A and B are shown apart, each in its own frame.
Chain A
């Protein structure tokens, strides 16, 4: 007879499962953590390589000559920017037209849901200026984008100058097979969002923008440039985009290949690669680089202007010039040559970049971990949840000895299902409240308390979150029957399966977010029962809740960036992170805030309910 249909064997398996459940769960958890930490160990990673045949090697001759002229243009741009007090639209239009581009502008305006204290803006109005270099002989079906942000103050002047210099040089070449769009966007991400929405005729975030008069073709790749100094010591590439989406690895490979050809120092996460992977410090350096990438990806923010392109299946990255205290400086001509080489190779593309990985982690610029290698870490955590669910199922299926007959069982389990529904509904209503109340009732909060709108929103969110903790003591009055032993088991089974599906789906889209949530929520899900010591487990549960995970992540992130903060500063940073998260959702459609408010928090509340089950 088969393994599972033979009742003796089945009983043996089931008893094995129940006996060994806890040890296997603990083992799996540690295995998952070890696997994750082992991912950045260099022998377990693969070297990066170009997968796209059409791009070939770096076999191209870069001849960009005009770095100095680009810097002069940058100074002019800075002067005009200061004179106008914002984006010098007329000067930009005139300069781009002088370089032979077809120039268009786009006006946009947006009222933020509440004032953004980090960037000090509330009602945003701006103009994007873009010039299109038409391919001399090709039909206008495909385009590439080079963008530089127009930042307040003296930032990114050189980026715009280099952009204009490259536009002038590119205009003189005959080998462009795609249109090249040179974009200068105002108010960084907001302007970029307006431009992309106008280009693709979508309106997902409720922004107000004027339609684009000129268009290129479907955009194949985009690079965003951030350069604030005349010389750089290194170039940093930023890959993480909105909702943790990453561009195709071939774009990073292309950047790295050209950095090596031209001899520029290239970094990722702002950290220089080290060669001593077998030493402890080398390994910890790689771990820190990978953890930085994991945290940036989990936050769901777009860490450069490129991040908004990824949603439209346009591979994009941001290249930042960093000027630190190193001896060897790279001038603007070399940076221009690097960009020229990259664009010539992107020009050779026949299809969008799709040959290389879309899901990866990079412990350094020359090594990567693909999804096939890092997913088992999450899989091991999901297995814990499944084992727990199986254990509960077995417990539910085998009635306890004090029940006499099967009829009473069925009755109890049916009432159990109904009683499960109530906590579910109430948790999700709390989650909905956490999602909607902070922004809707900010005026009321401002009236009653003397705080600014941003603080009102954040503090309302925290208040709703903490208010949810009081729920179990109150909802029991609503439940008709008494809570039973079967009841909490059914609830826990449902909650564990719900968490498993939720974390699984999250990990597929944004592995880092799923993994970090799983690290804290899976232990919660496994050990919580009404019978564990209440006070201790309540404290543990609160510490492992999403809000505290975020708080710890903020501190760890600052540590990893070698800018550790004190508790006060950390707390203020935490509040600003929450406000930025809510703003990201309303401005660009980031899904982290709704996910946590509407799904993860209710799930956690279910476990809180189980803890206080009577």
Chain B
């Protein structure tokens, strides 16, 4: 008996460790399943707006184009991106390198590229057009590329940049959009079921004032500076003669360059982009209207277009005759998801950190051990009934 007791003590400790591992495994299993079912969107849209014109506002166009580049690289196609640029910097007469828009000094990165598709250009970028795009109230003759054809399962990324102030954003030196107008437009979108979730990013002076008035659910907002602070530009390029990027978007671009379509970074990482030491202004964010926990929201939920495919177990009757039925019974197969975009083919990516799982045989052995210990402790006679 004492020998049994001694063994039972050590077995108890072992049992505790095994229970712990079992709980972790359960939780991990829960997470994987939870992640799969947590975001309810099926498609992604992006509305990227640059509101300033003139050569000395080069940096706003570069901001917008760098976000466009990231969003396109992560999978959102041009048909799902509404890009509004108020001025043409690449072909401006003052550009010493025509047909380029650089975001890094010494012309390291040309964000204009070969395949930029601008939907609203020049004087078409107005407050009215922007609100019409958001709410969908466009005349029937508007081409599809200029429409935001989102539905109630769309996640939309809205990025605004330009000159702003407390409660307003300046469009093209002649008009402004106020935070109240913007909040009302989002409410219209909610009531018309035009979005599932919305991520709103604004890079202007006093940007936090623009999201103060939001009241519709499922909106998460980020701004580059608080009320009373100015968002600063990052670096001038002497050869071109202007500032190339704003600080917040520069660090945002650096952060996004590390994201690939299968990455699991979440919104909490995005909130940490550009702390005060780098940005001089204090970036802010607002998550109270968002129903999910930001820690569970992936960056690619908004910036990329990772499609979730629903697989149905039901048999589908085809009207055309099938030559042979494959088999009478439906085979039980375990399904797994193919990588949408192979990671190795994408440049600028760091190797994916694989989570470590204990090998399968070990788990089986562990279960066997647990059962044996159980029956050993509580009576071997029960074993007969099982085997």
> A interface vs B, CB < 8 Å?
53-54, 56, 59-61, 135-138, 173-177, 344, 347-348, 350
Contacts and interface: CB of A to CB of B under 8 A. Distances in A.
A168 to B, nearest CB: 18
A137 B96 CA distance: 11
Interface of B: 54-56, 91-96, 98, 236, 238-239, 241-243
B241 A54 contact: no
Kindly list the 9 A-B residue pairs having the minimum CB-CB distance in the complex, ordered from nearest.
Answer: A177-B93, A61-B238, A138-B93, A175-B96, A59-B236, A60-B241, A137-B93, A177-B94, A61-B239
Contacts of A56: 56, 241-242
Contacts of A135: 93
B242 A173 contact: no
Contact of A173 (B92, B96, B236, B243): B96
B94 A348 contact: yes
Contact of A174 (B54, B56, B98, B238): B98
A53 B94 contact: no
Contacts of A59: 236, 238, 241-243
Contacts of B96: 173-175
Contact of B54 (A54, A61, A175): A54
Contacts of B243: 59
Contact of B238 (A60, A173, A175, A176): A60
A54 B56 contact: yes
Contacts of B92: 177
A175 B95 contact: yes
A136 B98 CA distance: 11
A54 B55 contact: yes
A237 B96 CA distance: 30
Given A175-B93, A344-B241, A348-B241, A137 B54 contact: no
A344 B96 CA distance: 11
27 contacts: A53-B56, A54-B54, A54-B55, A54-B56, A56-B241, A59-B236, A59-B241, A59-B243, A60-B238, A61-B238, A135-B93, A136-B93, A137-B93, A137-B98, A173-B96, A174-B98, A175-B93, A175-B94, A175-B95, A175-B96, A176-B93, A177-B94, A347-B94, A348-B55, A348-B94, A348-B241, A350-B55
A263 B93 CA distance: 30
A172 to B, nearest CB: 12
Contacts of A61: 238-239, 241
A463 B337 CA distance: 109
Contacts of B239: 61
A519 B242 CA distance: 49
A63 to B, nearest CB: 9
A58 B28 CA distance: 58
A136 B96 CA distance: 11
B339 to A, nearest CB: 45
Contacts of B55: 54, 348, 350
Contacts of A176: 93
B104 to A, nearest CB: 16
B174 to A, nearest CB: 14
Given A59-B236, A176-B93, 12 more contacts: A54-B55, A54-B56, A56-B242, A59-B242, A61-B239, A135-B93, A174-B96, A175-B95, A177-B92, A177-B94, A348-B56, A350-B55
Nearest to B238: A61
A136 B91 CA distance: 12
Contacts of A53: 56
A43 B195 CA distance: 60
A56 B96 CA distance: 17
A65 B169 CA distance: 44
A489 to B, nearest CB: 58
Most B CB within 10 A of own CB, among A54, A60, A136: A60
Nearest to B92: A177
A49 B3 CA distance: 92
A347 B98 CA distance: 16
B54 A350 contact: yes
A78 B56 CA distance: 42
A173 B241 CA distance: 14
Contacts of A344: 241
Nearest to B241: A60
